[in-house]
Amino acid sequence: MPRPLAGVRVLDFSTTIAGPHCGRLMADMGADVIKVESPEGDLMRSRPVQRDGAGTMFGQLNAGKRSIVLDLKRPEAVAAVKALVKTVDIVLENYRPGVMKRLGLDYPELAKVNPRIIYGAISGYGQTGPAAGRPAYAPVIHAATGYDMAHLGYQGGRERPDNCGIFVADYASGAYALGAILAALHQRHVNGKGQMVDVSMFESLVGMLLGEVNRAQFDFEVPSRPMYGPIEAKDGYVMLATASERTFQDMATAAGRRDWLTDPRFEKYADRRMNWGLFVVELEEWSRTLTVKEVVAAFEKHGVPCSPYLTVTEALKDPQVEHRGSLCTIEDRAGAYKSPAPPFRFSGSPLQSGPKVAGLGEHTKAVLAEAGLEPAEIEALVK
């Protein structure tokens, strides 16, 4: 069976994380993704971890793509792009709004060349509005949306927010872009028309703040302690989630405290939420007598969702990772290493990540020849 996106061609101008993540998923699903890089290359090529001059994060985000180098400040390169656009289904970019227009490569211009293209644009705040022109990377979006205040900063009496070392906004917007682009591609099968897909990192992250967005709109009494937080064991901490009445009952059973089920402080969800701090004090009287392993075993025996706090190294050794094939092997010029595979599977078609990570400009000549450029034109662009 072919992969789901076999036969689909993508021209990927995106850099850093959000756009490349979206393009990588399309490549895993079988699309021919052509990554357009400047002569300096995507900045992620120079980011750690480095092995013999090859960046593993770049490989994770771009495995399976072909790489071409074009200096888009040159009119010959812009002309080459337009020749390529005639042959592709999807254009993907994540520049600040206005950049592609200045280059003469925005959606209205490219739609003249190929009215059927789906043009996906990921930006910090969207293509329109007073904030559209602001530069943004994921940590800025985390602060701008309230995500940091809600989840990462000023908690536990800290005087200043935590550092932000993860890129939730990038990965979320890349995934939303994938879904929206494929929806537009499906609609093109129906009506024959291309369109632009405008994805906002800001809105992607706001959409993930389920409780926070709703609490911000109404007079909402804050509980004594967040309901989703760690409980202490003898040698560490355990996270548990009692999202339903059944799981709360099972937790009480696991701890040998069925009396909580009729305690007026905890019996009903609303009272339990407001008295959660008191509840955790009583729960920890039990959990502190046990090791993390023993607490987890007691909860899992009764079907309570829980986990010890693991390092990434420990998490990747979970047998579930091996069973699901959650990690795949990709290879760059420095050798092979492991990379996350897509988190979805198809019953009727395969996925394949990579396996190769292209060198900078490795496919320039071949791809431009496919677009119909003459050898002399290609040599001039390469030179």
Half-sphere exposure of 345 (CA within 13 A, CB side): 5
Core vs surface per residue 350-361: b (16+ CB within 10 A) or e: ebebbeebbebb
pLDDT value of residue 153: 45
Dist CA 174 CA 24 (whole Å) = 10
Max Cα-Cα span within the chain: 83
Q: What is the pLDDT of residue 152?
A: 55
If you average pLDDT over every residue of the chain, what do you get? 94
* pTM strictly above 0.85: yes
Model pLDDT, residue 151: 67
**Is residue 154 very low, low, confident or very high in pLDDT (cuts 50, 70, 90)?**
very low
For residue 93 the two structure tokens come to 């970019």
Rounded (10°) angle between helices 168-191 and 138-145: 90
pLDDT digit string, tens, across residues 317-373: 999 999 999 999 999 999 999 999 999 999 999 999 999 999 999 999 999 999 999
CB contact at 8 A, 355 and 329? yes
Domains and CATH numbers, the chain: 9-208+320-382 (3.40.50.10540), 230-311 (3.30.1540.10)
Identify the pLDDT of residue 160.
73
